[in-house]
Structure formats: C-alpha cells, structure tokens
Structure 1
Amino acid sequence: MEAVAITGRGALSPLGVGVSRTVIGVLCNEIAIRPAPWRQGDGRAGLWWGTVPGFEPKEWVDGDVLRGTDLFAQFAVAAAQQAVDEAGLVKPDRRRTAVVHGTSMGGMATLLRAQHALDSAGPEAIDRKAIIKFWPNMAAAQIAMRWQLHGPLLTLAGACAASVDAIGTAARLIADGRADTAITGATEGGFAVPDAEADDGFVPANFHSQARYGLETTEQDRLRAVLPFDRCRSGIATGDGSAMVVLENAALARARGATVFGEVVGYASLSDGHHPSSPHPSGRWEAETMRAALDDAEIGPRDVGAVVAHAAGTQKGDAAEIRAINQVFWGRCDPLPVTSVKGHLGHTGAASGAMSLLMALHALTDGVLPNVAGTDDVDPEADFEVVVGTPRALDAEFVQVNAFGLGGQNASMVIRRAR
C-alpha cells in the first residue's frame, strides 16, 4: 500500500477523555477496570467493566444533536473533533473527505432502553427519536453532518476488528485516489450509561449475555481482571470508548505542513471461517492475516519492531494468537516485543484496535512500548517477549497491530514511523 499519513488523533477511553490521558495512563500502568453497576454479589456475572469517566456530552454536542444521538455517537463525534483539531483541518474538503467508522453494537443501549420503556410503561414511553439513535451508521452520519462532508460514508460492523478494518479501508480509499482525507476509527458504547451509574431499574441484557456465554473474566481482583497472554487468564472485562484518527494523502499532508504521527503502510483482513466465537486453534488464519499485512507493506517479519496484539485475555483467543505470532515471527534472531492494552482498558470492542494503534504510534514517536497490565506468569507457549512489569524502550521503524473479532474477523495493520 502507498503510505498514508496519520495527522490527527482523538480518544475517549476508560481512563478518561483525550489521547494524552489514555497514553499517559497506560504508560503509568493505571488499570481502568472497575466494578460494574450491575455486578452480582457472587461475582459470577457482571463483575467488572471499563466505561468513559468524565465525559460531558454538552461539551461536544448541543441542541438537536444532543437530543437525537445515543451516547456512542456522542463518543464518536468527540473523538473525531479531537482528531480533526489536532490535524489542523479548519475546513476539510467536503467532497474529498471520507468518513469510515466501525462499531459492534452501535446504539444498542438506546434500543434496549426503548424495549425496557415499552415493557414498563407502554408505547408512549419510548423515546420518539430512538429510531435515529440506535442505528449503527448514525455515528458516522453525525461526523459527516458536523463538517458537511459529501465523500464516502461507510460503517463497518466487524466486531472487535472493526477499527482496524475501518482505518485500513479508509487508508485504501486514499491510496487508491478516491479520497484525500479520512476521519476514521471506531466506537463502542453499548454498555455506557450517563455518569457510569445504573438507573431506573434498567440493566442492559447484552452485558450479562457475555457472562452467560462464558466470555467474562472470573477474576475477583480488579487489578488482575484481564490477564493477556497469562497462563491464568480467564476472560474479558467489557469496556466502552472511541478512538479516531485523521488520515491524509501523505504528499498533501506534507505540502500543508501537517504534523505526521505515523504512516499506514500495510493492511489485511481475512476470515477465520471456523466458529462464531473461537478462532481456529492453530492460529493459521490469524497468521495468514498478519503475513498479508506485511506483504501489503512490502516488508518482512524481521522488519517489525514490535506487535500490539489483540490479546483479550481469553484462553482460546490468546492461545490462537500466540501460535499465530510464533508462526509469523519464527526464526528471528532478536526477541520480538509484544504487548496488549486490554489489561489497562478492558476490552473496548470495536474501538480496541484503534486504542492499540494509538499506543503503537506513541511507541514509534517516543520510543516507549507499554507493558501488559496484570500479567506476570506468561504462557510458556509464547516464543516472543511479552512486555510485563514496566514499559520497555523501543527503537523501531515498523509496528504491527492486530485485531481479531467474534465471527472470525481477522484484521492486521502495519504502521511506519513518520519520516
């Protein structure tokens, strides 16, 4: 792929509002996972979560937008505004700017609340704007309307791979000449509630459905809730948030004097085609996806300085990714450093790959790769260096970012240090 410049970043994460808050919190080994408002006393379901603290919607949207959007769309608009501001795009070209956004659940919270209102008080209790709040494309639509954009407008529902797929798709639109600029990333807000408190007797069914299916961590210690690549890993802790970037044609970005934080140089997306929730145990198709991204970047495994892994902390998911990384990077002379941010943030679903991308960009520009929070007993099958305890120094030109989702959604991206 022809290099595409990353010139703006925005984030709302379980650590707080803004990229700096997220990056500094991860590097300081903060863990944002905390008790869920719907937790059960026995801890068997609904124990932990990570949602966005300190978010005030009125600081980012007002009027009809505030009244007509789900919290997930407000998250997305806020992160997009941060990215556009950092990129210095005062007036994005309306026809040549794309919006490519990913989400798993969209405005599911609004839909669940509407059903709760119907069951509790009848049809008149339903929010009359629910229909324009819960559709998954409404975050991208609000971003396009905010800047009155008329370029490609796409929403990808690729589960936990959605953000890498969204950013990769946007990069290809630019590399192929179909857009000059893109506002892209992903958002999850399916569990979010105002002020992070339960109210009105409403409990989102999707929160407990994950526990019922056996995805949720069984850890009782908040600081060890999620243990990526740990021998004792037991599952995920759900998170919310949004991470967005501005991509630009690299030549145009340089011509206008934009600060470039890194470049997207490779991307691949392949189907695992194996099981609704478990990857193939061999990790074959995750490995194939990683190799395809390297091929797209026209580099080899020895050129990669580090991997920011998906590593959600599940037994089967992490085992497959370990085998995939082992296969791709087998035979390296130097140990490959690998990390994951889910021990810090929880699993932010569709946004998780973009959260990883933000940390990868920081590692390239500032030379520091974060450690995996909580993990201290690394799975012995890992034939690579899992960064534990404290961040490590990194001098690299390329970092690879993985995002693997339910349904066999495999995506991987290669980014290069700004030149």
Structure 2
Amino acid sequence: MPSALPDGDTAPTDGRLPDSALQGLGRRPFGVYVHVPFCATRCGYCDFNTYTAAELSSSPASPASWLDGLRRELSLAASVLGSPPAADTVFVGGGTPSMLGAGGLASVLDAVRSSFGLAADAEVTTESNPESTSPDFFEGIREAGYTRVSLGMQSAAPHVLAVLDRTHTPGRAAAAALEARSAGFEHVNLDLIYGTPGESAADLSASLDAVLAAGVDHVSAYALIVEAGTALARRIARGELPAPDDDVLADRYEQVDAVLSAAGLHWYEVSNWAPAPAAWCRHNMGYWHGADWWGAGPGAHSHVGGVRWWNVKHPARYASLLAAGSSPAAAREVLSTSDRRLERVMLELRLVDGLIVDALSPAARAEAGLLAEEGLLDAAALKGVHGRFGRCVLTLRGRLLADAVVRRLT
C-alpha cells in the first residue's frame, strides 16, 4: 500500500505562495516532476503512490482523468508562479509512465511545454518498465522531445526478481536499454536493487555484467529497504524471508562501487554512478542542491523558495479537486533557516563534491575533523588545496555510514 503523506500546515485552495518564496524564481534551476500513479501490478517491496487497475476498479480515476487533472495543475502552477521560468529539467516518474505509451508521454510533455516552456538544453527524463517498452516506443518518445530514459532493472537473477515480485524477464531491461540507445538516446539509466533476500554476490555480479554489456551511461543502485505495509514486509514478519542484513548490504555496495568504478562509471552521489558530469541526472541534482521544482500529479511533492507542499494521493480526489478549480495540495510547510541548513547538510554531503566546510557551525567543523581522523571524510578535501575552500567529502567508508555522518554534523 502507498505510504502516508507527512503532516503539515493547511495549504491554500488557490495554491498561492508567499512572496518570499517567489523572490529569486528563475535565478535558481527550475524543474518539473510529473507523477504517473498507474502500474500493471504492485511489486512486493513498493510503497510508492501507485495503483493497479484492480485497485481503481470502483473509482472514476483513469489515465484520461489523470491527464486532464495534470493539465489543470500545470496551468494553475503557471498562474501561481506569475512568470514561470522555462523548465530546465522534466522528470516523469511513477508508477509506470511507459504504460501511457509514446503518445501519452508526448501529451504529458506537451502539457509541460504549454504551461512552462522548455529551456533550450532541457533534460527530459521518463522512467520506464522494460516490459512496456519497444523500439517503436523509444523512437516515439525521442521524437516527442525526451532526452533521457531510466529503466527499472533491479536484477538479472530470476529468483531475485521473483522475491521482488517484478514481472519482467531477466534480460529484458538490458535489451530495452540497447533499444533506447538505438533510438538515439545518449543518456540511459538502469536501476539496480541490491541486498534482496536470497541474492548472492554472484547474482549481483551477473547483474552488473548485464548492466555494463548494455552500454548505459548511468547506473543507480539502491539497498533494499523493507517498507512497512508492503507485501515484502509481511513475508519477512511471517518468517518466510530473512530481513536484509546490514553487513551484507555494505558488502554489496562495495561490490557495486568497485565494478562500476573499474568500468569507468564513478560515483557522483551515494547511489548513482556515471562516466562524467554530462551524464549526471540534472533533475536529481536540483533536488540535492535545494533548487525549485513543481511536482504535478497525485502525491507529488514540490519545493519553491523554501516552501514545500504535497498533493493528495488518490488520483480520483486529485482530479476532482482540480476540476472544481481548487489546488490539489494536501498540506505544506515553510522551511525555517535551521530546516534549510539541516537539509543542505543532508543532501549535499551525499554528492561527490561534498559540502563546503563554511556551511557548518564551529562545533560541526570540529566534528568534521574527527570524522576525517576516523576515515569517514576525505582529509585532504577537508583541508582544502590550491586556494579552494575545504569541503566535507565522504570516503567509501563514509558513504556506507552517511546517515551517521550527517547526524554528527548536525
């Protein structure tokens, strides 16, 4: 089942933002996230805001009503922002955006263009399930203006995919990546999940071999997290499967990093690898650097100028609010100076360039020195060289303990 929304303050029904949030709009990177809440089946580990046809069978929600609501929300966004900047990045996620087909995804991008316009060099990404793609699909979305594709692979091992309740065949993700490249996509990502119960080091090695054989220029690899309320959590609670082991997860992460680094794909964020900055996901870089973005769709989150808000989750409720002329926002929060400082440490510390030392309090700077002595921060980067300011940059061991490092610096 989808996770619950956070608590927050009442969001205005007209979607308006404080004047302070709009100051500087356009001088910061601006992105648009579009959430597609539909999936053919629900994977056992997933708690994202997604719905299958069976789950919506008694609801008026449909892809058509969702798209109508999306157009209304994007129009509302342009009105709220006044003179909205052209989108530097667009990311269509889910859910399973590829279920909309190339035509549906073209309509989504047309709606973004109509309300915001696209920067001349805009990065436009869609997530896709390998089973709902084809050469014609990739050619269609490339023609529509998409520049980047992210494919959910998870694993090349059949028994690992079975535990995760993934329906694609083991070789399909890599084949889809090759089809995307043949259609002209320079930037293609494959997602992996490591640490699934029953996955061996050899299984992960085979998955990494398949990723590299596909020739992609970006890999995301995430440790399996068992979310409350999911089918996987229930199976573990019943004793059918063991819980992921932290030591095994650390070993798997080191394996991923070693193999990808040797192949020329280097970490630029704790869970992401690419050969060069040109292949980094610019949309996600906006998140990590606290940029502005409007999140459209059921359950989507937005951030503009220190104000964060999130939409109602159910697609029927989402569409009905917008049809009635109301914002779909469920609640919002205005981030305090201390909130923003904390988030900056949490997010920028995950990046290969790290966090400038001057962003830390005097006490945290002293703690950073201790972390460097313990091998969790790069001592040379912390000191600074050639006139550069010192930076807090995680070592490999520091990446494994990133949450603990953040706690100590905040």
Task: Please give the TM-score of this superposition, normalised by the length of structure 2.
Answer: 0.29
Higher helix share: 2
The structure whose Rg is larger is: 2
Pick 1 or 2: higher relative contact order, CA cutoff 8 A, min separation 6: 1
Task: Please give the TM-score of this superposition, normalised by the length of structure 1.
Answer: 0.29
